[in-house]
Structure 1
């Protein structure tokens, strides 16, 4: 077994991986979103049944995770835009840490509101 690569321990590499993984998580959510849209076209009773299921605590917690993924992906994307278009290379670690902390606060605030 080979030794871990040194760049894998870099916080900015981890931020880049979180950005990619959050994008995959958001893409995994899309079929459920399309399902809800399709049910709304089939009629009110089908949509009401689906919306009743979404009131369960497990779904509410999953929605909190979705809000976290959306926030971390959005803020990570802004970090990439700043790094690519401005001379912010020195403050990348602070910006990545701030993006993660802000995403966590947003997700926590969402969960407090819905639970």
Structure 2
């Protein structure tokens, strides 16, 4: 059981979110290239693809994607701070700030969808 002892620590959870968000973004890349392929095929293909993406489920997925990107960016900045500033007592604060930045970015993106 001691093997799992540190798994509940906020820094470990931040590490896990950073790695999983990076994996999810990497898995998204083929879909992104597929969408770009529609633009290369011409205006009609791109317009058809954009109409398809006007689905509410895809809009929600787009928001999740933005949150994942923001979480990965904020987590990466946290890792850089660890590398260059060393271990600090404010690790939990840095984890909370990373999570706050990610969710605030997603909320701003979601609010901007209606504009």
Counterpart of 2:16 in structure 1 is 17
Consecutive unaligned residues of structure 2, counting only runs of 5 or more, are none
Q: Counterparts of 2:110 and 2:98 in 1: how far apart (Å)?
A: 18
Counterpart of 2:49 in structure 1 is 50
Consecutive unaligned residues of structure 1, counting only runs of 5 or more, are none
- TM-score after normalising by structure 1: 0.92
SS of 1:5's equivalent in the other structure is helix
Q: CA deviation at 1:87?
A: 3.4
Counterpart of 1:99 in structure 2 is 98
Number of residue pairs aligned between Structure 1 and Structure 2: 114
Q: CA deviation at 1:32?
A: 1.3
- TM-score after normalising by structure 2: 0.92
The alignment's C-alpha RMSD in Å is 1.5
Once the two structures are superposed, the pairs formed by residues 23-34 of structure 1 within 5 Å of their partners are 23-34=22-33
Tell me the alpha carbon deviations over residues 34-67 of structure 1, each in whole angstroms, 9 at most, x when there is no partner: 0111111111111111111111111111111011
**Hey, which bits of structure 1, 4+ residues long, moved more than 6 A?**
none
